[in-house]
Structure 1
Amino acid sequence: MPALKAYSIRSLLAACTLIVMAVPALALPNDKCRTTGTFDEWMTGFRAEAAAKGIRPDVISASLDGVTYDQKVYNADRGQGVFRQTFEQFSARMISSYRVQKGTSLLKQHAALLQRIEKEFGVPGPVIVAIWGLETDYGANIGNIQSIRALATLAYDCRRSAMFRGELLAALQIVQRGDLKPAAMKGAWAGELGQTQFLPSTYLKYAVDYGGGRDLLRSPADVLASTANYLKGYGWKPGQGWEPGQPNFETILLWNKAQVYAKTIAAFASRLAEASGYQASR
């Protein structure tokens, strides 16, 4: 989405104080804490921790050598305002005619792949494509911020240090597993990766190889299958509805706890299903 580019929708909603929701998508930050010690001192300690948890020396070196503090990431995390849009306002902006047309075309283009994915994971193509479109405009805007640098900055900051320390370790595990090289790991300011914006821990757990080697940055097949795998892992019920009040809406809320966003995913998926003449896989 051109207006946001490196800032994913989930980053935006997670960082804002949402008027329309009760629980934010990411852990609440502690704004009264104090960060102590230098970034270089912190990085020395993290390197030792990564080694103790099984990350090879060559991976630590390739991933962390030369990594510096990113003031822009800090400013993005600290500078989010209040999100005040209603569902009607937000969905009207996000479910654009371009996204509907492009999404309908992609449903047809990837019809065989999406049928295979639905048979394996139980998640309908319109839902996956809706998430794909809302997160990054179908992969056009995955972000260009160095993920390891962003995660290290947020892990050093005292507000959500434990959470982002875990995400940074997961990023190194992704490198060690061979999915991505450190230089290729670019995304949104909060460390989300790929065309549906997985945090590294989610990438590590739910990314599947559908022909691209678990490459969620460049392989649409891996992106779509991994997104379905995530939803299945959080309880998606095959053959059930996804609109508010239906069984699978609760699973969409586990993708993002912001009601305004979950309702927009559901509405967009229904719009795509209608526009494409979607029929469930048998």
Structure 2
Amino acid sequence: MRRTPLRPVAARCLAVPVLLCLLTIPALAAQCGGDFNRFIAEFSREAAAKGISQQTLSLAFSGIAYDPKVMEFDRRQRGTFKKSWEDYARTRVGPARVKRARAMMQKHAALLARVEKQYGVPKELIVAIWTMETDNGADMGKLPIVRTLATLAHDCRRTDLFQRELFAALQIIQRQDLPMKELVGAYAGEIGQTQFLPSSYIKYGVDYDGNGHVDLRRSVPDVLASTANLLAVNGWQRGQPFDIGTRNFEVMREWNRSEIYRRTLHYFAEQLK
């Protein structure tokens, strides 16, 4: 994961509003702060009471430790997107990235056409998201997701939010969508080629290749369909524009709340038409 001050995935914090997450991720209330091991023990008891197996808990939390670098990065992200849109877009949508995105559109043309037909989200926008987030899976991050989310959940500023994300990560492990060694990602716990947080993974993930698992790291069909599904479920209007001021531009807030980031996605998508 390229770590620039304007990296959107950590800045957005959640691809889904908290109230929507509450519909699928049960609330947990382990006491934040204090001893990290005590926090993990209390969280584990609550997670077990809500259906997470001891096998999953042992696999996830064996040898876990607090990661101070995660909190350092989290605090540095305050004030993201202070550049003008023009300056930001210039750094995010260069000729090399547009060329790469066009190559992906050609390579996956049939798949993208099928996803667009089913979900109504333009293929150009799907590929723009895919490319801006991770350069089409080339740069997904290397941090252990469980350790990252446990560290963020232990911090008392947003403990409820990240306790739900940590629980969702345990659900991903329990469902065997990803093996523990591949549950790695970015500094706010994002996973996969379009950087879903675990609650979004659970809520919007689609098994589009039909293998019985939602794999947002290695399965391009799952990645592209899940990305489109997130927007479709949140009210995307098929065949309508998605530039600033439109209903679809507002729907894109469920992807990223930054107006500059959404304007850049629209600009990128326009370059791919």
Q: Any conservation in 2 of the 1:252–1:262 contact (CA below 8 Å)?
A: yes
1:240 aligns with 2:237: no
Superposition deviation, residue 251 in structure 1: 1.2
Superposition deviation, residue 4 in structure 1: 4.1
The one-letter code sitting in structure 1 at the alignment partner of 2:174 is Q
Q: Deviations over 1:237-267 (max 9, x none)?
A: 1111111123311111221111100100111
Q: Any conservation in 2 of the 1:8–1:188 contact (CA below 8 Å)?
A: no
Distance 2:69 2:220 in 1: 30
Q: What residue number does 2:9 align with?
A: 10
Superposition deviation, residue 75 in structure 1: 1.1
Q: Any conservation in 1 of the 2:130–2:194 contact (CA below 8 Å)?
A: yes
Secondary structure of 2:98's partner?
helix
Q: What residue number does 1:216 align with?
A: 216
- Superposed, 1:261-280 pairs within 5 Å as 261-273=261-273
Secondary structure of 1:165's partner?
helix
Distance 2:12 2:215 in 1: 25
The one-letter code sitting in structure 1 at the alignment partner of 2:8 is I
User: How many residue pairs align between the two structures?
Assistant: 257
Of 112, 115, 118, which residue of structure 2 is paired with 1:117?
115
Q: Deviations over 1:64-108 (max 9, x none)?
A: 111110011111112335332011110111011011111111111
Distance 1:215 1:169, change over 3 A: same
Q: Any conservation in 2 of the 1:25–1:258 contact (CA below 8 Å)?
A: no
Gaps of 5+ in 2: 19-30
Distance 2:144 2:112 in 1: 31
- Superposed, 1:159-170 pairs within 5 Å as 159-170=157-168
Gaps of 5+ in 1: 16-23, 28-33, 274-282
- Provide the TM-score with structure 2 as the length reference: 0.89
Aligned residues with identical type, % of pairs: 44
Distance 2:47 2:3 in 1: 37
Of 50, 62, 66, which residue of structure 2 is paired with 1:65?
62
Secondary structure of 1:267's partner?
helix
Q: What residue number does 1:205 align with?
A: 203
> CA-atom RMSD, angstroms?
2.1
Distance 1:159 1:235, change over 3 A: same
The one-letter code sitting in structure 2 at the alignment partner of 1:232 is A
1:86 aligns with 2:90: no
Secondary structure of 2:247's partner?
coil
Secondary structure of 1:82's partner?
coil
Distance 1:3 1:145 in 2: 12
